[in-house]
Structure 1
Amino acid sequence: METRNHEHATRFRLEGKFVAIALCWLLGNGCLFSWNSMLTIEDYYNHLFPKYHPTRVLPLVFQPFALGTLAILTYNEAKINTRCRNLTGYFVFFISSLLAPVLDLATSGKGGIGPYIGICIISGAFGVAGAHVQGGMIGDLSCMRSDFVQSFLAGLAASGVLTSALRLITKAAFESTKDGLRKGAIIFFAISVLFELLCLLVYAFLFPRLPIVKYYRSKAASEGSKTVSADLAAGGIEIQQSFGVAGDLKYAERLNNKELLFQNIDYALDTALIYVLTLSIFPGFLAEDTGSHSLGSWYALVLIAMFNGFDLIGRYIPLINNLKITSRRPLMIATISRFLLVPAFYFAAKYGDQGWMIMLVALLGLSNGYLTVCVLTAAPKGYKGPEQNALGNILVLCILVGSFLGVVLDWLWLIGKGP
């Protein structure tokens, strides 16, 4: 009987693996698709609000809302229903994406402080939604398999690639038409609305019913997790009938968040430093401080597309075991070494041509994606399900701390530039 139960558990542990990986990729896309849409149409917002630095202000609005929301959610993660948390995030993404084109249509595409405040409010809503989904999904997937985490992170980067590609297509299609920037932006957000609705439906009805997802959530529940019961119910099973996974369902003793942070302080610093550097350059510096070149109005869009493309490539490199950094000290050395890109970008913007800038942007994106996956797939190992969930949330919180510091430091590039 024990052998039969083991075989039964093994079969369910593998059944639906590749479908789950594909859905993780799709859900990762949905986590940032709307926000990347707003960033990618920066040429439209720069045209609409030329005095307000939208490429710098919008990330500065996004980050405090994301950081504050995730700090609260991380502090209370052991008591929060993961299913409700993620559904709330995808729903807010859907509604906010819908409000962006509605606001533009209601104001007839006019600039001014009123519409700008409205766009800033939508940016803050994206931050709240992102905190719900990104921390919730990475925490949840950390209880399962590292390749699920990698696929979700690759989906985050793929959202940037897709939005950049769509923006280049819409810009080419409408560039010669009257009010072409606005038409392209509206079409862009219409696509975002449909995409976020798809992710909402996939997470609500399809993902929790996959056998492999049921198995790992049942295993987390058997190890004391209180956050997965609603997901198990949505998958159509009771915790007690969890494919041969045995264990005491009482809340097992676990390390608290402070203990987890101290045991993984180097990983926390890695994630924060990766995004301090990235967000201090992308997208504000790339959009406003790279000078005039032969690509003209296409230049900033090409740079953003290059970053997103190589960020995605970097997130797949760790799938090759020989190229993946797993040791803690080399990860820290590689993370700190990236700061050499700061003087490199400064001199490339001041003295170099667009070829040098494109090369540096590609390196920035490649290293960002690669190191993010290396850290987030290495850190949550060796812990029980509830601790893996908590650590995943802590590391995402560190990413947002680094991102917030990065968008603040991004303003330092304006020193000495004048009005």
Structure 2
Amino acid sequence: MLSWNKWNQTMSLRLRLNLGFSMFVLCLMVTPIVDWINWDQNGTKVKSNATYCVVVVSVVVCGLADGLIGGSLIGSAGKLPKQYMQAIFAGTASSGVLICILRIITKVSLPHTPHGLKTSAHFYFIISTTVLIVCIICCNLLYKLPIMQQHYTHLVQDFLPCSRHKLRDVARTIKCPAFGIFAIYTVTLSIFPGFLAENLESSVFKDWYPILLITIYNVADFVGKSFTALYVVKSTSKATWGCVARLLFYPLFTACL
């Protein structure tokens, strides 16, 4: 929402992306730093309410950064050829696959102890921060490419005050696709990853079961978003009804309890 109104006129896409990625980097550094300073000289962990508050605030800032980056990327890709939009969604899905691979590697290579879990989490924060720094570098190099400068010139010309529309007018125009996106995220976030990570058990796979389920979900998500490079549903109504059909997952997952 912040990237919609006045920020869109005063801040360039490049500045918004750099700001969002920088917010991500700072937030990812908070948790390991807080964990490190909360150990006393005797090696005992010190519990503090302030630590909890700092972590919660960092999660909130992560959400703001995600919205800022997502809105900026999708907004800029909307003016570019369609393969750019597909690449953005496939890229977001690939990040989940990479994190699952990292989790599997750390689970296999590290001991199943609190210290091993802590080391695994630190690997996640270090690698994620490194990837974000690479994203910042690539983001700045991207806008120096001739093809991007050509398209970006047209973007700047299109972002005139006279060409802007109110949010409610845009929402009314795309109400079916917007409702479909709302249904997708509502169903997905209410089931994944909380339900899959905590409420299911298996006597065969044991503690590997949640990891396998989350990995299967992320791989399927990546395949589905990559498949749009080959085929896209042309009918908006069919795509919307397909999104609404995801509500069937509620009784299906309830039956699994």
With the length of structure 1 as denominator, give the TM-score of the two structures.
Answer: 0.57
Instruction: Give the match for residue 106 of structure 1.
Output: 37
Please tell me whether the aligned partners of residues 16 and 68 of structure 2 are also in contact (alpha carbons under 8 angstroms).
yes
> Is residue 122 of structure 2 the alignment partner of residue 186 of structure 1?
yes
> Is residue 89 of structure 2 the alignment partner of residue 153 of structure 1?
yes
**285 and 177 in structure 1: CA distance in 2 versus 1, 3 angstrom threshold:** closer
Instruction: Give the match for residue 230 of structure 1.
Output: none
> Which one-letter code corresponds to 2:37 in the other structure?
A
Partner Cα separation in structure 2 for residue 136 and residue 307 of structure 1: 26
> Is residue 59 of structure 2 the alignment partner of residue 123 of structure 1?
yes
Partner Cα separation in structure 2 for residue 172 and residue 121 of structure 1: 32
1:187 positional shift: 1.5
Please tell me whether the aligned partners of residues 102 and 124 of structure 2 are also in contact (alpha carbons under 8 angstroms).
yes
Q: State the identity as a percent.
A: 26
Instruction: Give the match for residue 134 of structure 1.
Output: 70
> Which one-letter code corresponds to 1:308 in the other structure?
N
Partner Cα separation in structure 1 for residue 182 and residue 134 of structure 2: 31
> Which one-letter code corresponds to 1:298 in the other structure?
W
Instruction: Give the match for residue 325 of structure 1.
Output: 233
Deviations 1:163-203 (A, max 9, x none): 11101101111125672111111122111111111111111
Partner Cα separation in structure 2 for residue 274 and residue 74 of structure 1: 22
1:121 positional shift: 2.0
> Which one-letter code corresponds to 2:93 in the other structure?
A
Deviations 1:21-47 (A, max 9, x none): xxxxxxxxxxxxxxxxxxxxxxxxxxx
Please tell me whether the aligned partners of residues 2 and 68 of structure 2 are also in contact (alpha carbons under 8 angstroms).
no
Instruction: Give the match for residue 157 of structure 2.
Output: 222
Partner Cα separation in structure 2 for residue 271 and residue 216 of structure 1: 27
Partner Cα separation in structure 1 for residue 94 and residue 250 of structure 2: 25
1:222 positional shift: 2.9
Please tell me whether the aligned partners of residues 98 and 193 of structure 1 are also in contact (alpha carbons under 8 angstroms).
yes
SS of residue paired to 2:228: helix
1:293 positional shift: 3.0
Instruction: Give the match for residue 287 of structure 1.
Output: 197
SS of residue paired to 2:204: coil
SS of residue paired to 2:4: helix
Q: Show structure 1 runs of 5+ residues with no match.
A: 1-70, 227-250, 351-419
Partner Cα separation in structure 1 for residue 233 and residue 7 of structure 2: 29
Deviations 1:37-61 (A, max 9, x none): xxxxxxxxxxxxxxxxxxxxxxxxx
Instruction: Give the match for residue 253 of structure 2.
Output: 345
1:307 positional shift: 1.0
**111 and 346 in structure 1: CA distance in 2 versus 1, 3 angstrom threshold:** farther
SS of residue paired to 2:182: helix
Instruction: Give the match for residue 276 of structure 1.
Output: 186
> Is residue 23 of structure 2 the alignment partner of residue 89 of structure 1?
no
1:149 positional shift: 1.0
> Is residue 156 of structure 2 the alignment partner of residue 209 of structure 1?
no
Deviations 1:359-386 (A, max 9, x none): xxxxxxxxxxxxxxxxxxxxxxxxxxxx
Partner Cα separation in structure 1 for residue 187 and residue 137 of structure 2: 35
1:309 positional shift: 0.9
Q: Mean alpha-carbon deviation: is it higher for 186-195 or for 269-278?
A: 186-195
Deviations 1:362-416 (A, max 9, x none): xxxxxxxxxxxxxxxxxxxxxxxxxxxxxxxxxxxxxxxxxxxxxxxxxxxxxxx
**89 and 330 in structure 1: CA distance in 2 versus 1, 3 angstrom threshold:** same
Deviations 1:197-247 (A, max 9, x none): 11111112x110111111111122233x15xxxxxxxxxxxxxxxxxxxxx
**178 and 99 in structure 1: CA distance in 2 versus 1, 3 angstrom threshold:** closer
Matched ranges for 1:265-414 at <5 A: 265-321=175-231, 324-348=232-256, 350=257
Partner Cα separation in structure 1 for residue 228 and residue 31 of structure 2: 36
**297 and 212 in structure 1: CA distance in 2 versus 1, 3 angstrom threshold:** same
Q: Mean alpha-carbon deviation: is it higher for 268-277 or for 170-179?
A: 170-179
Matched ranges for 1:218-257 at <5 A: 218-223=153-158, 225=159, 251-257=161-167
**97 and 78 in structure 1: CA distance in 2 versus 1, 3 angstrom threshold:** closer
> Which one-letter code corresponds to 1:129 in the other structure?
A
Instruction: Give the match for residue 173 of structure 1.
Output: 109
Q: Mean alpha-carbon deviation: is it higher for 118-127 or for 278-287?
A: 118-127
**77 and 171 in structure 1: CA distance in 2 versus 1, 3 angstrom threshold:** same
Please tell me whether the aligned partners of residues 293 and 299 of structure 1 are also in contact (alpha carbons under 8 angstroms).
no
Question: In angstroms, what is the RMSD of aligned CA positions?
Answer: 1.9
With the length of structure 2 as denominator, give the TM-score of the two structures.
Answer: 0.90
> Is residue 171 of structure 2 the alignment partner of residue 261 of structure 1?
yes
1:78 positional shift: 3.9
Q: Show structure 2 runs of 5+ residues with no match.
A: none
Instruction: Give the match for residue 72 of structure 1.
Output: 2
> Which one-letter code corresponds to 1:312 in the other structure?
F
Please tell me whether the aligned partners of residues 93 and 222 of structure 2 are also in contact (alpha carbons under 8 angstroms).
yes
Partner Cα separation in structure 2 for residue 111 and residue 145 of structure 1: 53
